[in-house]
Amino acid sequence: MEKQGMDGGAVLRRPGLLALPDHTSPGGKALPRNALFLPLILRALLWTSPVFPQSGPVVTGEASPASLVTGSFWTVSLLVDHPSPEEVEVRLPALPGGLSLDRVRTEPRLIQSSSPDQESRRWTSLQYRFLVRNPGRIDLAPFEVLVNGVSVPSPAFSVTVRNPSPQPPRAFWRNLPPALTAGEEAILVLCIEGESRPGPSVPGPSLPPVPAMIIMEVLAPEAEDELLSLRVIPLEGPFFTLPSFPFPLENRTLQVPALRIPVRPAPPAEPAPVTIREEAPPRSGYPPFPSGFTPRSGIFAGSGREIQARSRILWEEGQVVEALAELRRNERDHPAGFSLVELRRALEQALGLEAEPDEVYSPRLLLIPALLFCLILAALSLTLPAGLMRTRSSAEKRPQHLPGTFIWLCRIFSLFFSIAALFCLFRLSFAKRLSLNYGDSPPRQALARETALYRVPDDRGTEIARLTEGQGLLVYEIRNGWAYAEAVANNRSGWIKTGTYLVY
């Protein structure tokens, strides 16, 4: 039933407390039923549309180092908020020139949460290492990270590359041994880096002095980067030290680093090899004693024949070194020594010794009588003019003294003659010994037996040369069963055993 004055309204359905209008338009017309599904369809289309994409994983990245030089490596690291590395795919951008990929590394990583209440999350870490070859600025476009079909770009990266600055040249010791052994040889090589070796026109370095117990020899360099080589043989420890010294180049001077290397003591020598190496087998026979050398006539002819007879006996018994020592000792000390020179030369030529020098006559046995004679002469020069230089006048028959000036002139002349005689005897006896003085004591003259000449006083040291029987030596120093000697003929020096020579 409608009330009067009211418009006709829509029929309301009241199924409950909620009343919905019927499918009618505002004007009272009915709407189609499928009109209710249009908002739901539009909402679903808008949700899946590309205009509103779904949110992907978080991707962060960093590059190190911030500055590079050519020839070095540049690392780009990516962190993807996804727990499984197998489901993460990365597409690299186009690489600029001078940049090449060297290595890729993928692994999971636990990332600590910023909130202490939350647990650590598992991310995926990717590292890309690139080799940089060209200088300049390198701009790398973002990486494309794909996770379950969702693409997320990474940040872009850039770096500046420069050429390496030239390094100044330096000198260094190559392959230094950790320690040296006493008596053993070691080669120390000095090299240069950053510059070529100087030419022959540049003077070599002035090496600092080394201790007396170190034998050091400079060798010529072999390789292109070598400056010099040192052959070092330490005789004792505890350290081999070489101070720093300058090395001149063509346009600069390098400072060579100092050396300090420990020296180990030599291990004990084995006696068996020493006997085989040191002692030469005895000679089966020697040339016969030459004949026809008769001492010249004179007051010392008898002494010369006795010396010759003693040397003949020693020679025929096989003691050739003792025979030569007998001749050389008397040639130096005895007045008849001049008559033994030809015989001694013939014996040395028979042994193959051609360049041995002659002895210098220094009569030490006549020094004491000559000294007494000079002292008596000096005493007479003080008393003789006063007692003997008097005459008597033939007219007055009384003594008349000579002038005092004449007497003093006679005394001065006698003293001068005595001093001159003493000086000549001194020069004749000791001049040769003083000229051969070595260190604090003069060397001793000796003749070598057949033995080896070593560089160091050790049986396992380097053998310099072989000494033959009868070769002349100058012995300078004796220490611990070894003697430092020098061959008179060729000036070769080294160490020999104390029982392998005869002092005369």
Q: Over the stretch 25-82, which tens digit does the pLDDT of each residue have?
A: 455 555 455 554 555 555 554 444 444 444 678 899 999 998 888 989 999 999 999 9
Compute the C-alpha angle 370/376/378, nearest 5°.
Answer: 105
What's the confidence (pLDDT) of residue 439? 41
Give the least confident one: 201-205, 318-322, 396-400. Answer: 396-400
In terms of Cβ atoms closer than 10 Å to its own Cβ (0-12, 13-18, 19+), residue 50 is exposed
What's the confidence (pLDDT) of residue 104? 93
**Does this model's pTM top 0.75?**
no
The alpha-helical segments, DSSP class H, found in 300-364 are: 301-316, 320-333, 341-350
In the beta sheet, which residues pair with residue 478?
483
What's the confidence (pLDDT) of residue 33? 53
- Residue corresponding to tokens 């392959």: 175
Residue type, 399: P
List, in order, residues 6 or more apart from 278 with CB less than 8 Å away.
451, 452, 459, 497, 500
Q: What 3-state class would DSSP assign to 344?
A: helix
Cβ contact 474:503 at 8 Å: no
